[in-house]
Amino acid sequence: MDPRLFLIILLMMPLSVITLADTVTAADTIADANGVGDANESFTFVHMTDAHIGYYDIKELTDDPSICKLIKVVDPKSMVESVVKFTDTLQDIKTHKPDFILDTGDLVESNNLDFFNAYAEILKSIDIPVYNTPGNHDRRDRYGQGDNLTNYYDIVKPLNGSVDTVLLDDFGDYYFDWKGYCFVGLDSGADYSVYTEWRDLNPTMLLYLLLLCTPESNGLWCSQMERLYTLDPNIPKIIFMHHPVINDKDDENLYDYKVKVPNNCSDYGGNDACIAKNRCDFIDYCLNNHAYLVLTGHTHKDYVAVHAPPVAVPAITEPYMFIQTRSATKDEQGYKHGYRVINITDGVISNISAETTPTLNRSTFTLSLADSVAEPEAIWGISVRDSLGRHTGMNWTTGDIEREIPGSYYTGHYNKPPSDTPQVLVVYPADNSLEVVYHALECGDGTTLVTKEPDEYVQKVVDF
Q: Which domains does the chain have, with CATH numbers?
A: 3-355 (3.60.21.10), 363-459 (no CATH)
- For residue 310, the tally of other CB atoms under 10 A from its CB is 11
- pLDDT computed for residue 71 by the predictor: 52
For the chain, the C-alpha Rg in angstroms (whole number) is: 23
- Rounded Cα distance between 374 and 367, Å, is 10
Global pTM reads 0.84
- Report how far residue 403's alpha carbon sits from residue 383's, in angstroms, rounded to the nearest whole number: 10
Q: Which helix (H) or strand (E) holds 272?
A: none
Rounded to whole angstroms, the Cα distance separating 123 from 411 reads 9
* CA gap 220, 217 in Å, rounded: 9
Q: Are strands 237-240 and 275-277 parallel, antiparallel or unpaired?
A: unpaired
CA–CA separation, 338 and 336 (whole Å): 6
**H or E stretch at 12:** none
> What's the pLDDT at 18?
21
Sheet containing strand 401-403, strands side by side: 401-403, 391-394, 380-385, 435-440, 451-452
Sign of CA dihedral 57, 59, 65, 70: negative
Neighbouring residues of 33: CB distance < 8 A, sequence distance ≥ 6: none
Query: Going residue by residue through the chain (464 aa), what tens digit of pLDDT does each one get?
Result: 443 333 333 333 333 222 222 222 223 333 332 344 555 679 999 999 999 999 876 554 455 555 555 454 456 778 999 999 999 999 999 999 999 999 999 999 999 999 999 999 999 999 999 999 999 999 987 665 678 999 999 999 877 766 657 777 788 899 999 999 999 999 999 987 765 554 444 444 444 444 456 667 889 999 999 999 999 998 999 999 999 999 999 887 655 455 677 889 999 999 999 998 999 999 999 999 999 999 999 999 999 999 987 655 545 556 799 999 999 999 988 899 999 999 999 888 999 999 999 888 999 999 988 776 555 678 899 999 999 999 999 998 888 999 999 999 999 999 998 888 999 999 999 888 999 999 888 654 443 344 444 444 444 444 54
Cα angle value 434/439/445 (rounded, 5°): 135
Chain CA centroid to CA 338, Å = 12
28: helix, strand or coil: strand
Q: List the end-to-end C-alpha distance of the chain, in Å, as a whole number.
A: 29
pLDDT value of position 33? 29
Distance CA 110, CA 364 (A): 24
SS3 (DSSP) at 354: strand
Round to whole Å and give the CA distance between 404 and 389: 9
| Residue (of 135, 50, 18, 57) closest to 340 by Cα position | 50
What pLDDT is recorded for position 146?
79
CA angle 446, 451, 457 (to 5 degrees): 165
DSSP 48-112: E----BS----TTT---HHHHHH-GGGSTTHHHHHHHHHHHHHHHHHTT--SEEEE-S--BSSS-
* Model pLDDT, residue 369: 84
Query: Which distant-in-sequence residues (6+ apart) come within 8 Å of 389 by Cβ?
Result: none
